[in-house]
Amino acid sequence: MEFRPSDDHLAFQRTVREFALAEVAPHVAEWDRAGSLPVGIVHAMGELGLFGLPFPERWGGSGGDFLSLCLAIEEIGRVDQSVGVTLSAGVGLGATPIFRYGNDEQRSRWLPDLVSGRALAAFGLTEPDGGSDAGATRTRATPTDDGWVLNGAKAFITNSGTPITSVVTVTARTPDGQISSFLVPSKTPGFTVAPAPHKLGWHASDTHDLSFEDCVVEHRSLLGEAGHGYRNFLSILDDGRVALAALALGCAQACLDHSVAYAKERQAFGGPIGRFQAIAFALADLSVAVENARNLTYKAAWLKDSGQPFGPLAAMAKLYSTEAAVSATRVATQVFGGSGFMEDSPVARLYRDAKILEIGEGTSEIQRLVIARGLGLPVG
């Protein structure tokens, strides 16, 4: 069996790689120091069609497949993880819930700007007291004659406070105890976006806590069927896990690229350090890890595109690729030695960025739980 992207996929991947090197790479250090999302690069990715990849032409997309999106995220993330996660979250967590569960009125209202990169949307699931335990949602939605009144808080929400954020999808518990989801337009009265926190990594990615205090949204803001919010977002998270695996793959590949180049150039004890087995073997192992991550990620994307069950493999891809990325940054920093500890090193930023990969879209522990349950084990 031959398992490889098609020639069209590879040509598209090269196009994104060229874009990332030309439009992202020269500015990465500047954006990281500024600690804010460069909206211009969102528009540029939109013009390239990246935000519309998996959506039909009817809604402004290109009708591409999920593997194409993963290739794009990998290549952008290979240059900058912050911009990579902006793309991943903008498509998977922002536009996809509206496309998959919204009605035509909601799609017509929001998708054209989201799939073109003119706007961003966010996904409000995590709460201050509910991360991995997403079913413990405390945000409340109370029905009234005018619509729904939201009260509660969300934490660590990506793409939620940019100048071009147009809407946030929020999960909330209704009086019957079920979890539903609601579309909350930006600047809705009672919806407050907290100042950006100071993060360890992903400095150029937009992240905020959100609060809702007697925030009134219209009846038509209900996204999907009432009571299906939690179930629907678990499905969204399967997609997101594969996308985050692709982002982690980009990180690991970047670490390998930088380390091999440095090991050939750095001189010590009369020659390049790559001639020492300690360095050479570490990079050989890293190369194996990158290839394993790539195969798991691409296969999970292929299963989704083929309409086959992919949840357990999505968890495997996310678990393996993110842990491989964290290990890759440690190896790369060690190869660079003292230079790797300096912020102007190409691997220092990757070292900071990588850790969140093991946490977002479900921690490594949650992925192991999903995989174990897939084996039929009665683990709780």
Model confidence over 41-94: pLDDT tens digits? Answer: 999 999 999 999 999 999 999 998 999 999 999 999 999 999 999 999 999 999
Phi, psi of 41 (to 5 degrees): -75, -25
Task: Compare 132 and 13 and report the one with higher pLDDT.
Answer: 13
* pLDDT for residue 275: 98
Domains of the chain, residue spans: 7-120, 122-226, 230-374
Q: How many residues does the chain have?
A: 380
DSSP string computed for 110-178: HHHHHHHTS-EEEEE--BTTBSS-GGG---EEEEETTEEEEEEEEEEEETSSSTTEEEEEEEEE-TTS-
* CATH number for the segment(s) 230-374: 1.20.140.10
- Does residue 134 carry a pLDDT above 90? no
pLDDT band for position 250 (50/70/90)?
very high
The whole-chain average pLDDT of the chain stands at 96
- The encoded tokens of residue 39 equal 């909206």
* pLDDT for residue 130: 74
**Mean of the pLDDT values across residues 6-18?**
97
pLDDT tens digit string along 260-271? 999 999 999 999
**Mean of the pLDDT values across residues 325-345?**
97
* pLDDT for residue 133: 79
- Answer yes or no: CATH 1.10.540.10 is held by domain 7-120: yes
Return the active site residues.
Answer: 361
The topology under which CATH files domain 122-226 is Butyryl-CoA Dehydrogenase, subunit A; domain 2 (2.40.110)
* pLDDT for residue 1: 55
